Amino acid sequence: MTKFNEYNLKPFILEAVEKLGFTEPTPIQKEIVPHILKGNSAIGQSHTGTGKTHSFIIPIAERIDTSRPEVQAVICAPTRELGTQIYAEMMKLVEGSDIEVKSFIGGTDKQRSINKLKTQPHIVIGTPGRLRDLVKENALLVHTGKILVVDEADLAFDLGFIEEIDQVAGKMQENLEMYVFSATIPEKLKPFLKKYMESPVHVKIGDKRPTADGLDFYLLPARSKRKVERLKEVMGIINPYLCIIFVNTKTNADYVAGELGKAGIRVGRVHGDLAPRERVKMMKQIRDLEYQYIVATDLAARGIDIQGVSHVINYELPEDLEFFIHRVGRTARAGMKGLAITIFNPEEEDAIVRVEKMGIPFQQKDIVKGEFVDLKNRHSRKSRTRTPNEADAKAKTMVHKPKAVKPGYKKKMKWKMDEIKKVERRKNRKK
């Protein structure tokens, strides 16, 4: 059985890995870590929640030469959220070392990003557009970089970021090592991979369901209500043996517990700011079944064993989506059944899609008259195949892109096409 200490990693990395609670590499880590340590380009196909992030940040940290004050590795993430998560995990890993890591994501002040580059970092993590802009400004000097990671490549492709990544990759060393991670490899992504990867190793981790068989997943929209009100509705329906309500921060744990307390619901709370004595007391109360509900943060809930959990409620999606699997794995243990309920707002839709890519089979639910009811699948509109009609076809033949392109031309073209479609449909109705 492989252990992390068998990889001959630097002491500070082994110490960080131990702090994170890792002992044995996950299947994707066992396959990918040796290839990155040896410098063999690779494609890793696996779902989020399999330990993918650490499969590349651990060997990259190991390979950094701190005597060279220059960019040695670039990590591209298609979303700000994912870039921030990877940066946070990398910082935990390099704590106590001389490795310089900097993060550059869209939506932040570009000039401030340029100012941060007066000295070049060893590792750069960022979103494709921002990295491309900094390279074009000659602020970020990636020509010294030999390692490029493209995380969630299928999502990057869907969001139209491959061109930006290509522009960054084109400025890096000729003998570039590329490591691409993706749940799927779309056909249209293959030309980009072929351009930079000659006979890469292709690692595919099985698509089997990443959670217990007796576990059901309900996905519940908050609608126009505050999430805490939706949570109270859920608690009025379920009658758990023991339920963990997951939040992301100590502040939110206190807020949710406080709101439930006002409603007369007694809840325990477990978060990182509990003093050791309080923590011991709380765990004893939980074991003695003094609470039916516990509000907990990921950091606090990880590494403690709470028996008899029948329900998990995700009041918030975890900031690091890989924790979703850890959370729901608290229930349906030892052959028992379990229910994981996720309450979400519209702005969390992208994150929900990414959780679904992990292999989570959500059942869409709503609450009507104090009961769960089935909702129509969120993707039903997307999956409908559109049949071409005469109005669409005629509009396309009559509206052309102008030779001299001006701002807003796309909107004008769409407006013209919509007008033609209306006229054509009226004609068809009269026939």
Residue 139 is part of which domain span? 4-204
What confidence score (pLDDT) does residue 421 get? 72
The region that residue 335 occupies, defined by phi over 0 for left and psi between -120 and 50 for alpha, beta otherwise, is left
Tens digits of residue pLDDT in 394-415: 666 676 666 666 677 677 777 7
Q: Are 267 and 368 in contact (CB under 8 A)?
A: no
Angstrom distances, CA of residue 136 to CA of 86, 129, 140, 162, 344: 24, 11, 8, 16, 38
Number of domains in the chain: 3
Q: Which amino acid is at 375?
A: L
Residue 129 lies in a domain: yes
Whole-angstrom Cα distance, residue 416 to residue 396?
10
Last residue of a domain, one of 173, 204, 235: 204
Whole-angstrom Cα distance, residue 63 to residue 79?
26
Mean pLDDT of 249-267: 94
pLDDT band at 376; cut points 50, 70, 90: confident
Whole-angstrom Cα distance, residue 93 to residue 63?
13
Mean pLDDT of 350-358: 89
Residues 229 and 114 in one domain: no
* Proportion of the chain above pLDDT 90, given as a percent: 54
Residue 9 lies in a domain: yes
Residues 99 and 77 in one domain: yes
| Exposed e or buried b per residue across 250-287, where buried means at least 16 C-beta atoms within 10 angstroms of its C-beta | bebbeebbebbeeeebebbbbbeebeeeebeebbeebe
Residues 122 and 180 in one domain: yes
What confidence score (pLDDT) does residue 212 get? 66
Whether the model pTM is above 0.75: no
The answer to which of 234-243, 258-267, 388-397 has the lowest mean pLDDT is 388-397
- Indicate if the pLDDT at residue 341 is higher than 90: yes
Last residue of a domain, one of 204, 224, 255: 204
The interaxial angle of helices 11-19 and 80-94, nearest 10 deg, is 120
Residue 210 lies in a domain: no
Residues 225 and 339 in one domain: yes
Whole-angstrom Cα distance, residue 63 to residue 342?
39
Residues 317 and 426 in one domain: no
For the ranges 22-31, 47-56, 239-248, 330-339, the maximum mean pLDDT occurs at 239-248
- Indicate if the pLDDT at residue 210 is higher than 90: no
Cross-strand partners of 75: 125, 149
DSSP letters spanning 269-327: EE-TTS-HHHHHHHHHHHHTT--SEEEEEHHHHTT---TT--EEEESS--SSTTHHHHH
Query: Could you tell me which residue, 131 or 321, shows the higher pLDDT?
Result: 131
Residue 364 lies in a domain: yes
Tens digits of residue pLDDT in 162-191: 999 999 999 999 999 999 998 778 788 889
Angstrom distances, CA of residue 237 to CA of 230, 263, 330, 368: 11, 15, 20, 11
Residue 314 lies in a domain: yes
- Indicate if the pLDDT at residue 209 is higher than 70: no
DSSP 8-state class, residue 67: T
Rounded (10°) CA dihedral 356, 358, 359, 362: -30
What confidence score (pLDDT) does residue 128 get? 95
- Indicate if the pLDDT at residue 119 is higher than 90: yes
For position 161, which CATH number holds?
3.40.50.300
Whole-angstrom Cα distance, residue 129 to residue 151?
14
